[in-house]
């Protein structure tokens, strides 16, 4: 087999394994953070759909301007933001021997891969305690009983080798 043909075949195989479409999902609102200051808040995640194989999605991240990131992890019973006892205080305190507490939830969904553009509602029901190394900068979206509603948009890009995904960050004006 000639060198050029062989090279072409290798490139083709490699592209079949690594070529993909990446999707970025994001929604923005302005709302109060846990220090009661109006902030821009962005919910975002990505999804990669390869040429061969099933699509895979990121965890969902919520960034509040000037605050810390919080992450929603996909579990069998839903998509939750897990706080840590001592670091996050739930609105309704329940005694529990476990390390983590459910401090937030993506409503109406169980799999991140299945979430597309459109309305997305999420709950936050904890408030943060100061951190050892960042003190009172440890803030996120304010806890409340009603869900927050985002309108999620989608952008997509094709790539032969995949691409590094950069999630959007709200601007902190302090």
Partner 1 sequence: MPIDPTKPVKILVVHGVEIADDSKLDQDKDIDQLVKSRLGGIALDYEVEMYKYEDIEEAAQKDLRRIAKAIVATPVGQVITDKILDLVLDVVINLKDDSTAATIRAGLMQRILNYYDAGHACFLVAHSLGTIYSFDVVNELMRDKQYFNRNEWMTWPVQGLVTLGSPIGLNMFQTGKRRTVTPMGAGMEWFRWLNYWDRTDPVVSGSIFGKQLSGYQIAERYIKTDPNQGWVIRDRIVDTGKTWLLAHTAYWANSSVGDGIVELIAS
73 binds partner 1 (CB under 8 A): yes
Handedness of CA 64, 58, 28, 147 (dihedral sign): negative
Residues in contact with partner 1, shown as a per-residue x/- string from 117 to 156 under the rule CB under 8 A:
--------------xxxx--xx------------------
Helix and strand counts by DSSP (H, E) for the chain? 1, 11
109 binds partner 1 (CB under 8 A): no
170 binds partner 1 (CB under 8 A): yes
User: At a CB cut-off of 8 Å and minimum separation 6, what does 61 contact?
Assistant: 43, 44, 45, 69, 70, 71, 72, 167
With CB under 8 A, what is the number of residues at the site for partner 1?
53
Count Cβ atoms within 10 A of the Cβ of residue 1 and give its class: 0-12 exposed, 13-18 middle, 19 or more buried.
exposed
3-state secondary structure (DSSP) of residue 18: helix
User: At a CB cut-off of 8 Å and minimum separation 6, what does 40 contact?
Assistant: 28, 29, 30, 64, 65, 170, 171
50 binds partner 1 (CB under 8 A): yes
Q: Pick the binder of partner 1 from 26, 33, 34, 45 (CB under 8 A).
A: 45
Query: CB of residue 33 vs partner 1: minimum separation in angstroms?
Result: 12
Nearer to partner 1, 29 or 165 (CB): 165
48 binds partner 1 (CB under 8 A): yes
13 binds partner 1 (CB under 8 A): no
Going from the C-alpha of 87 to that of each of 54, 84, 135, 153, the distances in angstroms are 37, 5, 11, 32
Nearer to partner 1, 114 or 145 (CB): 114
86 binds partner 1 (CB under 8 A): yes
Residues of this chain that interact with partner 1 (CB under 8 A) are 17-18, 20, 22, 45-48, 50, 53-54, 56-59, 61, 63, 65-71, 73-74, 82, 84-87, 97-100, 131-134, 137-138, 161-167, 169-172, 174
């Amino acid at each position: 087999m000639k060198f050029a043909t062989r090279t072409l075949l290798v490139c083709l195989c490699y592209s079949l394994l690594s070529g993909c479409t990446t999707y970025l999902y994001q929604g923005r609102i302005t709302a109060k953070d846990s220090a009661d200051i109006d902030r821009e808040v962005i919910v975002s995640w990505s999804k990669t759909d390869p040429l061969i194989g099933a699509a895979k999605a990121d965890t969902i991240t919520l960034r509040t301007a000037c605050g810390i990131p919080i992450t929603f992890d996909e579990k069998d019973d839903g998509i939750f933001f897990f706080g840590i006892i001592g670091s996050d205080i739930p609105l309704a305190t329940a005694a529990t021997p476990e390390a983590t507490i459910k401090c937030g939830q993506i409503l109406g969904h169980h799999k991140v891969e299945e979430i597309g553009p459109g309305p997305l509602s999420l709950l936050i029901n904890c408030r943060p305690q100061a951190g050892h190394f960042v003190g009172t900068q440890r803030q996120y979206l304010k806890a409340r009983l009603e869900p927050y509603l985002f309108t999620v948009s989608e952008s997509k890009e094709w790539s032969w080798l995949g691409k590094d995904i950069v999630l959007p960050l709200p601007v902190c004006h302090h």
